Amino acid sequence: MMRGYITEKYTDMRGAYTSRRLMEEGARAGMDMRIVGVCDTVLTADGLICRGERLEKADMVINRFKYGNIKDAVARLGDVSVNAIDKINKYVDKSRQLDISSSAMSRPVSLLACAGTDMERIVCAVGLPFVAKGLCGSRGNMVYLVENGEQYAALCEKYRDTELLFQQFISTSRGRDVRMLAIRGEVVGCMQRTAKSGFKANFALGADVTAYPADADIKKIAADIYAQTRTDVLGIDLLFGRDGYVFCEINITPGIEGIETACGVNAAQGIIRLKTDRA
């Protein structure tokens, strides 16, 4: 039987939807998938030790944790690493996504600067209100809508001298967006996320999800982004602009619960096949 690892924050995350589904589909494909918690693992001169057990080479490593150096060492144990660790280390930073483009979408005006930058300079560049994003946040964390000076002052107090991405607010997409899951540039599933309140439409924050048609533009965007990033599995978020789709960001370690729930697709199987189809 083939062996696979799924990196998560902790080893006891068997109940996490995405990891559970990957384990299920791995077993169906003849692969024994094991969760490796980065926070439970140490790197020594003798190798990687997870909860007292040495980690051996694996047929596949699915990288679900984005931070630190131990995850890199675990990824190197796999004959196949999804996503490749150099891609995760690059695109986990939202500022490294600024050059992603497609003729089927536009981009919000953006400014990379530290919290504390003169607000007038930000407003002149991207308008008011504007969105402020932490460079490595996920699941809607570190994303703020700034509508006035008081809100900006509070943001600066919280993130003083931290680099943030300031972006034009796409008002036509307030509280809703499109998330697609793409595997090697092919759209596996596509959904609209609609917030119950507020402007953020993350599934992790309780947004409603419904299947959304993968039209020609969406398929082109997925193919174009794959051509540029060469990244196996991507969550691609798009906003609704006045004249078409507007790029929001890519998620380098996307969860699959929303897509499988809304679209009735087997995304986990598609990820596992990145190894089993080669075997």
Residues 98 and 215 in one domain: yes
Distance CA 9, CA 134 (A): 20
Residues 24 and 138 in one domain: no
Domain enclosing residue 158, as ranges: 110-169
pLDDT at 279 (0 to 100): 56
Query: pLDDT digits over 39-59, tens only?
Result: 999 999 989 999 999 999 999
pLDDT at 203 (0 to 100): 65
Residues 98 and 192 in one domain: yes
Average pLDDT, the chain: 94
- Torsions phi, psi for 155 (to 5 deg): -60, -45
Q: Residue 81 belongs to a domain with what CATH number?
A: 3.40.50.20
pLDDT band, very low/low/confident/very high, at 29 (cuts 50, 70, 90): very high
Q: Classify residue 269: in a domain, yes or no.
A: no
Query: pLDDT digits over 217-226, tens only?
Result: 999 999 999 9
**Angstrom distances, CA of residue 195 to CA of 172, 189, 201, 242, 261:** 14, 19, 4, 19, 16
Q: Classify residue 275: in a domain, yes or no.
A: no
Residues 98 and 230 in one domain: yes
Residues 98 and 210 in one domain: yes
Domain count, the chain: 3
Residues 223 and 152 in one domain: no
pLDDT band, very low/low/confident/very high, at 137 (cuts 50, 70, 90): confident
Q: Classify residue 122: in a domain, yes or no.
A: yes
Residues 84 and 189 in one domain: no
Q: Are 154 and 129 in contact (CB under 8 A)?
A: no
Torsion of CA 13, 200, 262, 26, to 10 degrees: -30
Residue 184 has pLDDT above 80, yes or no: yes
Domain boundary among 44, 59, 90: 90
Residues 40 and 177 in one domain: no
Residues 151 and 224 in one domain: no
pLDDT band, very low/low/confident/very high, at 75 (cuts 50, 70, 90): very high
Residues 121 and 164 in one domain: yes
pLDDT band, very low/low/confident/very high, at 155 (cuts 50, 70, 90): very high
**Angstrom distances, CA of residue 7 to CA of 17, 72, 95, 155:** 14, 10, 24, 32
pLDDT at 204 (0 to 100): 64
Residues 11 and 64 in one domain: yes
Sheet of 143-146, strands arranged across: 110-114, 163-168, 130-134, 143-146
Read off the pLDDT of each residue in 188-198 and give the average, rounded to a whole number.
Answer: 88
Q: Residue 233 belongs to a domain with what CATH number?
A: 3.30.470.20
